[in-house]
Structure 1
Amino acid sequence: MLKNWLAAGAVALSVGMTATASFAQTTTVPGEQVGLATGAPLPEGIYALDTFLYRQNRNTAPGAVDVGVNVPVLVWSTPFVPFGGRVELLVAPPTVFAFGKNSGPNGSRDLSINVGTFVGGIWAFDLGGNVGVSLLGGVYLNDLNGDRGVLVNNAGTTFATPVLPQLASNTYRAGIAISYTGDGYNLTANLTGNFYDSPATFGGNNFFGTRGPFIISDSLNLDLTATKKFGKFEIGAIGYGTANLDTSVNSLAFGNRGSFSLGGLIGYDFGPVTAQFYAARTVATAVRRSETTELWGRLIVPLYSPTPVASAAPIIRKY
């Protein structure tokens, strides 16, 4: 059932933030789209993806935490192709986790935070010659169901609140991607912008002083993929980074222009499920001691396609 559908293009939507406001960044985590040919249109159908990130923090201070992000995604590649571009609809309810690195009273408790559900759409074009281009637009509904989060140590003392001040505003997301998917290659560049209503405030009670206002920096992410398939295996290089556009003294991104990471990816097509694993390490950063190692895992499951298996063969060969 379209075993090579990943090479035809897909989108994984996620969020990624550090556990404190001092390293605030985009709601969309850098690297969440690597390994996917996001520029090319998907064949008509319904697809499920789940992407998980584990970010290891080199900081060993008492309140230091590692961070995880889990993003289940449902994609409907519709039969609608206005002006030759496939319309794809997406929904994703991400969750961010923080894992305390130290025991004892000064160590941080583990916690989880709901990020505003993402709803959006893609308009994807097959330009011919195994080249595709797509446009993405959508919003993380942080005002509706985003959780501000409170980081507490094992002794019950509040460390930081809100943990993710980015969630004080809905995040408006726009993106453009281009992919080459011929001869088993996936060569993709994906540029994503996150934009906020800034300054922004949380609603509800203000007991922990979490209301705001917060000056949230608009940001740009760049995700790069260069992989090759050998039978059922896929292997290659990846790179991704983020740039904050407002690093003024009042901004949540004060002093943090951004970062860039490099790494590698390996994947395997099991038939009904495709799995990917990739890892990357910070190679450039504007914030001292903020270097991280990030480990990623992804599962991709085609749930439904109106195209019979035999009729799907030309699509598989094409990509």
Structure 2
Amino acid sequence: MAAALGALSLCGATSTSYALSTAQPGISTGFITAALPPVGLYNIVDVNWGARGPYNGDPEVDLGVAVPVHLLWVAPYELLNGRLFLVDENIWAQIGVGHGFGATAANLRGLGLTKLGVGLSWDLGAGFHFALEESVFVPINTEVSPCDYWEFSQKLMLGYTANNWLLNAELVYGAGQNGPMQNVAPANAAFGQPATAGAAWANLNLTALRQFGKWEVGAVGFGSTDLSSPYAGYARQSQFALGGAVGYDFDKVKIVAKVTRDVYQSNEGGYDTRYWGEVVFALWKPEATSAVSAKY
């Protein structure tokens, strides 16, 4: 998201350099992240696309995001009575900036993020779950990367899974980093200049689903805001979006589809409408291994 808005500087439509949350706001909505699946190794494939603007003379920015490798390992171990889990997330992005069909001023693509995380999840009873995660974003300097510095992030998750309701609230914080103004735009990487600064940020991801057999239907919402100004004159950004979600569990594979739209934005360059598709499947489960062993 930061790269999408930083790319505006390529076509001279704005004199302000922008940054935003390193973690894409809303990407975890539609899931109960506070409650873990059974012990095993899972991959969560996410593809989403959206268009922001045009707004107040700024160009339209189209951002496509693909997460082909988002590994979640739910370990067979507990620590402090909480279930241990590990995360490896890799994000590819494509950004188009233009003033209408056939008038593209920039088209950027590449690896945007790599995140490594470790966390614990507790079953509190009566359908309630709580989890926390400590993550680090690995430095990447591409034309679409939001940062080329090590950035630490913390996540708190609270969920409810009972009486056919699936509710989840997730608060994410990123530390950011101060630096010189001339290097803050992620799109500067296209010119060999590192994106050495970014604001501290916070995301809020909300999910409320109702189960109907294997179906899940409900609403999602998410917001993001900058918490600091990494250099003098920085224009802080914030947004909030609402939408709907529908999911279906095929037992071995789960599919979730979402549509969201900004209802509020400040210094974002316009309102974003986004379409999401996500697939979750198990790469390995210990019970499957046991079954094979018993056969022989």
Normalising to structure 1: TM-score of the pair?
Answer: 0.77
For 2:40, the aligned partner's letter is G
For 1:307, what is the secondary structure of its paired residue? helix
Q: Is 1:181–1:187's contact at 8 Å kept on the other side of the alignment?
A: yes
**Cα offset, 1:198, TM superposition:** 2.5
* 1:103 Cα deviation from its structure 2 partner: 5.0
Instruction: Tell me if structure 2 keeps the 8 A contact 1:41–1:126.
Output: no
Is 2:66 aligned against 1:70? yes
Distance 1:288 1:80, change over 3 A: closer
Q: What count of residue pairs does the alignment treat as equivalent?
A: 272
Aligned to 2:294: none
Matching residue's letter, 1:241: G
1:276/1:207 CA distance change after superposition, 3 Å: closer
- Normalized per residue, the structure richer in strand is 2
Structure 2 residue aligned with 1:241: 223
Equivalent position of 1:27 in the other structure: 22
Report the Cα offset of residue 74 of structure 1: 0.9
Bigger drift between 167-176 and 54-63 goes to 54-63
Shift of 1:257: 3.7
In structure 2, the partner of 1:92 is 89
Matched-pair contact (CA < 8 Å) for 2:50–2:274: yes
Shift of 1:190: 0.2
Which residue number in structure 2 is paired with residue 260 of structure 1? 240
Q: Structure 1 residue 197: deviation in Å? A: 3.5
Q: How does 1:204-243 map to 2 (within 5 A)?
A: 208=191, 210-211=193-194, 214-243=196-225
Q: Distance in 1 between matches of 2:29 and 2:276?
A: 10
1:237 CA displacement = 0.7
Structure 2 residue identity aligned to 1:141: V
Q: Is 1:43–2:38 an aligned residue pair?
A: yes
Distance 1:173 1:238 in 2: 22
Aligned 8 A contact 2:5 2:269 in 1: no
1:113-160 CA-to-partner distances (Å, cap 9, x unmatched) read 212421111111111111110010111102xxx1331xxxxxxxxxxx
Deviation of the 1:39 alpha carbon: 1.0
* Structure-2-length-normalised TM-score: 0.83
Q: For residues 270 and 172 of structure 1, what CA distance do their matches in structure 2 show?
A: 35
2:36–2:121 CA contact under 8 A, matched in 1: yes
Percentage identity across aligned positions? 26
| Matched-pair contact (CA < 8 Å) for 2:53–2:59 | no
**Per-residue displacement from partner, 1:86-113 (whole Å, max 9, x unpaired)?**
1111111111111355455x52343312
From 132, 142, 152, give the equivalent of 1:148. Answer: 142
Deviations 1:214-266 (A, max 9, x none): 44110000000000110111100111000101247636xx3334110011101
State yes or no: 1:110 paired with 2:90.
Answer: no
Paired with 1:85 and 1:257, the residues of 2 have a C-alpha distance of 35
2:133 aligns with: 136
Using the alignment, how far apart are the partners of 1:303 and 1:183 within structure 2?
29
- 1:300 alignment partner, one of 277, 280, 284: 280
Are residues 230 and 207 of structure 1, via their aligned partners in 2, closer, same or farther at CA, if it must alter by over 3 Å? Answer: closer
Question: 2:261 matched to 1:281?
Answer: yes
* 1:121 counterpart = 2:103: no
Please, what is the CA RMSD of the aligned residues?
A: 2.7
Structure 1 unaligned regions, length at least 5: 1-15, 150-162, 312-319
Q: Which residue of 1 aligns with 2:2?
A: 17
Q: Is the 8 A contact 2:147 2:198 kept in 1?
A: no
Give the equivalent residue in structure 1 for 2:149: 169
Q: Deviations over 1:63-89 (max 9, x none)?
A: 533001111211111111012111111
Using the TM superposition, give the Cα deviation of residue 189 of structure 1 relative to its aligned residue in structure 2, in angstroms: 0.4
Cα pair distance change 1:240/1:187, threshold 3 Å: same
Give the letter for the 2:263 counterpart.
V
Range that drifts further, 287-296 or 117-126? 287-296
1:208 is displaced (CA, Å) by 3.0
By how many angstroms is 1:272 displaced?
Answer: 2.0
Q: 1:281 is paired with a residue of what secondary structure?
A: strand
